[in-house]
Every structure is written in C-alpha cells, then in structure tokens.
Amino acid sequence: MVIRPSSKQFFWLFLIVGTFLAIFLWINDYFSHQIFIEELGRQISLCSESSKQCEYQKLIDYPSDRLNANQAKIVELSFLIAGYFDYMIKTLKILVIFILIGSLPALKDIYNEIRSRLNLNR
C-alpha cells in the first residue's frame, strides 16, 4: 500500500489541531464547571438567607415569570452543571471528527490502490 506523504502530513496536522482543540475545550469546560458549582453554592446561600424557595426540583416546576432573579440563576446553573458530562462527550466527538477528516486523504489513497490492483488482475 502506498500512502502519499502529503496524506500522512494532512492526517498529523488534523490530529494535532484536533487534540489541542479538545484539550483546550476540556480545560475550559472543567474550570467553567468549577465556577458554576461555586456560584450555585453562593446563589443557594443567598436564596436561603432571603427565606425563598431554593430547592432545585421545585423551582423547575415554577413558571419562569414567578421566579425571582436569584431563583432563575439557580435553575440556570443547575442545568449547566448537569450538562457537564454531555459537554465532555461533545468535545470527544469533535476530536473524532478531526481524526476522520485527517484520515480522508489516506483512505482515498488506499481506495485508489485497491482499485488499481483490481484493474491489474483483470
């Protein structure tokens, strides 16, 4: 099998760019998650001091127009914290897409090699 050097370079370029992008996004998501957790604790303590309803499960059922700013912030932060694992999976999917894009020229070379060998055998 002959894979052109430019195909290999294209693969390595996309692998390196995708890896650095994924690392950057994972670090960003991790630190954002930590900030969201701290802010949620702060918002819950502020809500408790004002003697308002602060339980997340009950706040979801409330209509959004009945929530004060603090309660709305608690709901929003809770959704962001709950979606942390999904963000990590999306970042992994981005990395896999970069690897697949980088593999396309090599796959094309392999396809052309197989096709030419089949034509020679005829």
Show me where the domains of the chain are located.
29-104
Closest CA to 23 of 104, 93, 91, 114: 91
pTM reported for the whole predicted model:
0.75
pLDDT class for 93, splitting at 50, 70, 90? very high
Residue 43 to residues 24, 33, 46, Cα–Cα distance (Å): 28, 15, 5
Work out the pLDDT band at 65, boundaries 50, 70, 90.
confident
pLDDT level of residue 31 (50, 70, 90 thresholds): very high
**pLDDT confidence tier of residue 89, bands split at 50, 70 and 90:** very high
pLDDT at 49 over 90: no
What pLDDT was estimated at residue 1? 61
| Per-residue pLDDT at 75 exceeds 90 | no
Taking a C-beta distance cutoff of 8 angstroms, is the pair 99, 14 a contact? yes
Instruction: Report the pLDDT averaged over residues 58-80.
Output: 83
What average pLDDT score do residues 98-118 get? 88
Q: Which two three-digit tokens encode residue 105?
A: 């020229």
Give percent of the chain above pLDDT 90.
Answer: 42
Give the side-chain half-sphere CA count within 13 A for 99: 9
Output the CA–CA distances (angstroms, integers) from residue 91 to 25, 82, 85, in the order listed. 7, 16, 10
